Each structure stands twice: as C-alpha cells, then as structure tokens.
Amino acid sequence: MSRSDVLPFPHCRLAWAELQACSNFTFLTGGSHPEEYIDRAALLGLSAVAIADVNSVAGIVRAHTRAREIARQVAERQEFDRTIGLIGPPAPPGFRRSASAHIYNTPRLLPATKIVLGEGLSATLLPKTRVGWSQLCRLISRGRLQADKGGCDLKFDDLLEFGGDQLILLHAPPALEVQLGAPSWLPHLRRLTRRFAGDVMLLLYPCYDGQDEVRFSGIAALAQRYSLPLVASAAPIMHHGARRRLTDTLTAIRLGVRVDALGRSAQVNAEQRLRSPEEAAILFQAYPEALHKTAEVLEQLTFSLDALRYEYPSELSAGENPSDRLRRLAYEGLAWRYPSGATARVKKIIEHELQLIAKLNYEPYFLTVHDIVAFARSRGILCQGRGSAANSVVCYCLGVTSVSPEIGTMVFERFVSEARNEPPDIDVDFEHERREEVIQHIYERYGRHRAGLCATVVHYRGKRAIREVGRAMGLSEDTIGALSSQLWGFFSTKGLEAERMAEIGLDSSDPRLQQTMALIYEVIGFPRHLSQHVGGFIITDGRLDELVPIENASMEGRTVICWDKDDIDSLGILKVDILALGMLTCIRKAFDLISAHYGVEYTLASLPPEDPAVYDMLCRADSLGVFQVESRAQMNFLPRMRPRCFYDLVIEVAIIRPGPIQGDMVHPYIRRRNGEE
C-alpha cells in the first residue's frame, strides 16, 4: 500500500493543524521556543498551530508576532514571484499546493492553554471568540491568584464557570479503562457535556511508548460511548526531534536529578515533535474521523490576538472629557511654572503638543501619569520624569518633569510622533524608600482586576546555564566552578573552548564535558521563569484579567501579568513606568537638611542652575555617589572633560558608553574640545 492510499487528506485539500504544542514557556518542560514552532509549521505545511502551555499563555504573543512576520514575508514574496511570472493567480480558498508551494505557507497561531485541575482532569482550551479569550484569561487568573507565585490552583467548578465560548479538548484519564474509563473522571465528563454541549471533545494523542494502539482504541471507545467527537494531536513538546537531549536535560533540572537517573521521566525517543500533514495522516490512519474533525474545528476558531483592543482608562472627571481636562491642567501648570508669564515660544510649543496629543488620542495616558505624580506630591514623595518626556512642555506643566524643555534643543516628536506610530513611554522615578506607597495607590485606585505590573522573562545566561546544566549532566562542583570562571572567555570567543579548558586543567576531549558544553550553548536564551518588571504598570478601562491573566508576584501585595515589555509593545498596549531611584531619596533628605539648617525650601525645579561650585567638584572627580557620574570610567573622564555647564554633563554621560568608546570617539572629542584639532 502506498502512502497516498492511506492519506485521508486527498491532495492535502483539508487542513492539518496542531492543537496543543507545548513550548518552553511551560518552564523546564517544553524543548522549543514558540517562534520555532511557527517557523517549523510554515516549513511543514501546517495550516495552524496552537501554543498550549500548562495553565499559561505567557509565550503566545511571541508566536503571534512571528506568525505575523511570516505572513508579511510570504505576501511580499508571492507578489514578487507573481510579478516576474513564477506563479499564477492565487489558489482557490481551502486549497493548498502541497509540494514546493510550502514556501508560501502562512500558519495561523491558535491561542490556547492546557488546563490542569486539582481533581486530576486535564483539558486543552481553545477560545473561539474574543469572549472565549476573556473567559480563558479569567480562568487562569482565578487559579493563579489562589496560589503562590508560579503555582495554579484550579478546580473543576472554575472550569464550569469560565469555560464558555471555547473548545474543550479533554485529555483521556491516565488510568483509562477501555470499557468504562476512570470512574472518578466520568462524572466530570457528564457535567461538562451538559454545560458546554457541542464544545467538548476528546483528544486523541500518542505517547510514543509502544502502547498507543491500545490507548487509541480505549479513547475511541470512550468517545463512542458518550457521543463525543475525536480530534487528533501529535502532542509535541519540541519543534524538532533534535531537541530530545535538551528536553531531557530540562526535565532533569526541573526534577532535581541527574540525566542518568531520569528513568521513566526521560523521553522514550525523539518522536514527540511537531508533525507534517503526511506524518499525521500515517500516525492516525486508523482514525480518519479524528483528522477530519481537526480540520473542521479550525472553522470555529476565529479568534486571533489581533482582535485584542487595548482600552486605556478614559480618565473622565466630573463630566469633563479627557481632552478638555488635559488642556485645563496644562494651562494651569503653565501659570504655575511661569509665574511671571510664559514666553511666546513656550505658548506656541504647548499648543503644538496639545494638538498632536489630541490627534493621537493620548490624553488619558498623560492624565494617568499626572494623577499618579499628583498623588506622590500630595504625600511629599519626590518624583521626576526621565527620558524623552523631558522634551515635553506639557509634562513640565503637569509636574511630571522639573526642567523646562525650552532650554534644550530636542523636539517633542522625539517623545510623541505621528510618523513613528508608537505610543508614548513616560518613565517616572520616585524615592526608592517610598515607591511602594505609589504602587499600592495605583492598585487601590484602579482595582487589581484593572491594574498589574508587567512580567520580565528570566532567560538562561552563562553562569546559570553552566551551573544547572552541569549539575544535571553530573559534573562535579569543582568542574562547574572552573567552567564558570571562564564564562566570558567561552561566550566571547566561541570555538576556542579546547584552549580555554586546557588553561584551567580540564580535558576538552572528555565526551561528557563536550556534551555538557553543547547543551549549555543550546539552552542559552531559553526562558527559565517569570519575574516582575521593575515598575511597568498596565492599566485598563475594563477588566485587565479579560485581556491577559493576572497572577501573584513573589513580593507580598503585588500582582503581575504574564507578558513582558516586548509582548505588550507588539500588541500596542501602553504601560506607565513607576521606577525607584535611590538618588531621589538622597535629594529629599538633602532638601530636609537645608530647610532645617538654613531655612531655605528647595524643589527640583527651583534648585539654582549651573552652580560653579558643583562643576569645580566634578572637575576634581569628587563624584562618588553622584548619579550617572559615579563609575570609575566617569571619574577617570571628568578631570579630562572638565564640565562647566549642563550640556557638558550630557556629553559626559553619553560618551562613556560601549559604542562611543569602541568607536574611538572619546579622544578625538577631547582634542577638538580643547582646540587641539
């Protein structure tokens, strides 16, 4: 019998999609990045792939971003090939050329998650609509908020409450009995099918352990007994079989054992990988109805992350719309900042800024930052906006920054630009000892269901990779320490490992050491766990937990979302950075001492500018503890630079950076500044 005789997809006219791929955002379990699944799906000719991590959607945005990029590249290539006559007109809907035409394949990302309940039941959930996505996010939030950081405590009743508008693909119970199934599992099955009739299906997936034929038969019998449709999945935990060794290593790290001692926890083979339509057809050839049903459900799964519409808080106040309120506050601040009257130039700048802000509908964002800063000032907490917000007269008048931008040469469009189509990003520093007051105020004002800190994905870097992979591979602590001591040597001069190892007394020809080094290089960049962003807040008009799941942070009183800065940028979500700066605490204490001893009240805006005594101190490199110029490199450069004005300090800070130093800009600048060139 030829392969074409067993294919249930005649000429590949029906779509094959992977409905539950486990990525490395199921930390220390999945063996591939979400982006790698999308790339591999495009190459294999899959119509769609669902990234379904355990109780999480943390890696979905990365896959979504990659899928969009592939679609853009394919569209450009098709247009070019069509222009030069390499391909004909577009194929009819639903038809895919199955051979070389895979170069035009654009797989769709299916948002999903694998839910594991406390009662032992597992299911893959795929939102059908935007409402389904909201329900999924609230379900994960429910479980995450009921557990400590990194945990998820979900009950069956939670699934009943938040399972609407989703396809529920039930995993067969581990102790499956061909006739009856697991007794404790069946009551849940009956309740689910009554509650979500038509959306509950049984997932047919292999374990690649030699028992799949018996397992498939039992699942099919269970589906027939309870009139449930079967859908097929290859259940990959890696995009390619070459990741088997790394996957076993991650498992050993998770379990705290050596790879040699994994036993049944190790991968039996390299089969648990993403499958092509042809491979899937052979894998499930005895169950063509499962393959056909898998193709059919794609028509129900219309939701895409592109449908997410981030709604910033409207910031309405006493019936005043955001535009009128921002204009009023800006001009009130103008009178406050310029008691003797603003110049014509400043008035022209503020009007230009207000018009551009209104055109881009960013008024609520500026109002949120104003309200947070106003709260801090009402409590006597020193704060200061940083970065390109200093280019804005509006920010100066709202009290976000304390230096008038008219003294500089930067333009407002460096901060907010219609051409760049990027949202503004206002970073505000607060006294580090009192920032928590501001953070808790935001939670109290908006509610924890509307506000949360961004996540930061902690990735494997050199030292952690050497330490954890080395222990999993059974290296001694002495060997691990020796490898760590050569960290920068290894990762800055790849290919010279043998020489480096010889220098520290290690045998580079040892097979285990060679395997360990290969795995260390491979694991670099893998996500290890989620941490919290230093201060990036996401605030929404509606429920944040219907946009993205919320979970507990390790710090008491903090809640975070599972997406990081790059993810929210990709989706066009605004954040407000509430940062901590120790120097502001020092300045506050200095203000208090000046007030107590000299009776003079200073603010950041009223400090005497260009104090010669300060520049004399800097020219002597007496800058220990002075923010931005306290490093050894800065202290070495200050006597040569001899700053005498604020702009000199701007150059001072900017030029002592890796780029200018490696580009040999420092010495030519000094010579030209001194008139030597």
pLDDT in tens, 334-343: 998 988 888 8
330 and 467, same domain (yes or no): no
Confidence (pLDDT) at 98: 40
Confidence (pLDDT) at 592: 92
89 and 102, same domain (yes or no): yes
Residue 80: strand pairing partners: none
Span 51-73, mean pLDDT?
Answer: 95
364 and 269, same domain (yes or no): no
* Number of C-beta neighbours around residue 256 at 10 A: 8
Is 56 domain-assigned?
Answer: yes
Is 550 domain-assigned?
Answer: no
Higher pLDDT, 19 or 104: 19
Name, in order, each residue with C-beta under 8 angstroms of 366's C-beta and a sequence gap of 6 or more. Answer: 326, 357, 394, 395, 398, 424, 426
* Number of C-beta neighbours around residue 635 at 10 A: 17
Is 145 domain-assigned?
Answer: no
Amino acid symbol at 567: D
Q: Which residue has the tokens 């002592």?
A: 656
Higher pLDDT, 276 or 180: 276
Closest to 357 measured CA to CA, from 385, 329, 335 = 329
227 and 289, same domain (yes or no): yes
Is 472 domain-assigned?
Answer: yes
Label residue 367 exposed, middle or buried (CB < 10 Å: 0-12, 13-18, 19+). Answer: buried
Q: How many helices (H) and strands (E) does the chain have?
A: 27, 15
Q: With bands split at pLDDT 50, 70 and 90, how would you rate the model's confidence at 12? A: very low
* Number of C-beta neighbours around residue 523 at 10 A: 24
What pTM was computed for the model? 0.86
581 and 626, same domain (yes or no): no
Residues 127, 297: Cα–Cα separation, whole Å: 11
pLDDT at residue 115 tops 80: yes
Name, in order, each residue with C-beta under 8 angstroms of 434's C-beta and a sequence gap of 6 or more. Answer: 379, 381, 585
Is 551 domain-assigned?
Answer: no
Name, in order, each residue with C-beta under 8 angstroms of 10's C-beta and a sequence gap of 6 or more. Answer: none
| % of the chain residues with pLDDT over 70 | 89
Is 383 domain-assigned?
Answer: yes
Confidence (pLDDT) at 177: 47
What is the rounded average pLDDT for all residues in the chain? 87
Span 240-246, mean pLDDT?
Answer: 96
334 and 368, same domain (yes or no): yes
Amino acid symbol at 51: I
pLDDT in tens, 480-510: 998 888 776 666 556 667 777 777 888 888 8
Residue 169: strand pairing partners: 124, 201
Is 143 domain-assigned?
Answer: no
Domain end call among 524, 543, 560? 524
Q: For 555, list phi and psi in degrees, rounded to 5.
A: -80, 130
224 and 315, same domain (yes or no): no
Lowest-confidence region among 76-80, 231-235, 560-564, 641-645: 76-80
Residues 507, 127: Cα–Cα separation, whole Å: 53
17 and 89, same domain (yes or no): yes
**DSSP state at residue 81:** H
Span 461-467, mean pLDDT?
Answer: 92
Q: With bands split at pLDDT 50, 70 and 90, how would you rate the model's confidence at 63? A: very high
Confidence (pLDDT) at 494: 64
pLDDT in tens, 510-543: 899 999 999 999 999 999 999 988 888 999 988 9
* Number of C-beta neighbours around residue 659 at 10 A: 9
pLDDT in tens, 118-143: 888 899 999 999 999 999 999 999 99
Higher pLDDT, 436 or 572: 436
Confidence (pLDDT) at 85: 72
CB distance 429 to 584 below 8 Å? yes
623 and 586, same domain (yes or no): no
pLDDT at residue 14 tops 70: no
Higher pLDDT, 94 or 366: 366
Q: Rounded to an integer, what is the distance from CA 341 to the centroid of its chain?
A: 46
CATH number for the domain that contains residue 73: 3.20.20.140
Confidence (pLDDT) at 178: 40
213 and 334, same domain (yes or no): no
Name, in order, each residue with C-beta under 8 angstroms of 534's C-beta and a sequence gap of 6 or more. Answer: 456, 577, 579, 580
**DSSP state at residue 510:** -
Question: What is the maximum alpha-carbon separation in the chain?
Answer: 98
Give the domain range for residue 507: 461-524
Confidence (pLDDT) at 180: 46
Span 440-454, mean pLDDT?
Answer: 93
Residues 447, 449: Cα–Cα separation, whole Å: 5
Q: With bands split at pLDDT 50, 70 and 90, how would you rate the model's confidence at 245? A: very high
Residues 590, 596: Cα–Cα separation, whole Å: 10
CB distance 194 to 162 below 8 Å? no
Confidence (pLDDT) at 97: 44
Is 223 domain-assigned?
Answer: yes
Q: For 530, list phi and psi in degrees, rounded to 5.
A: -100, 140
Domain end call among 503, 524, 545? 524
18 and 69, same domain (yes or no): yes
pLDDT at residue 570 tops 80: yes
pLDDT in tens, 603-654: 888 888 888 999 999 999 998 888 888 888 889 889 988 888 888 888 888 8
Higher pLDDT, 625 or 287: 287
pLDDT in tens, 361-395: 888 889 999 999 999 999 999 999 887 777 788 99
| Number of domains comprising the chain | 4
Confidence (pLDDT) at 89: 58
Q: Which residue has the tokens 């950081």?
A: 149
- 3-class secondary-structure state, position 193: helix
400 and 499, same domain (yes or no): no
- 3-class secondary-structure state, position 405: helix
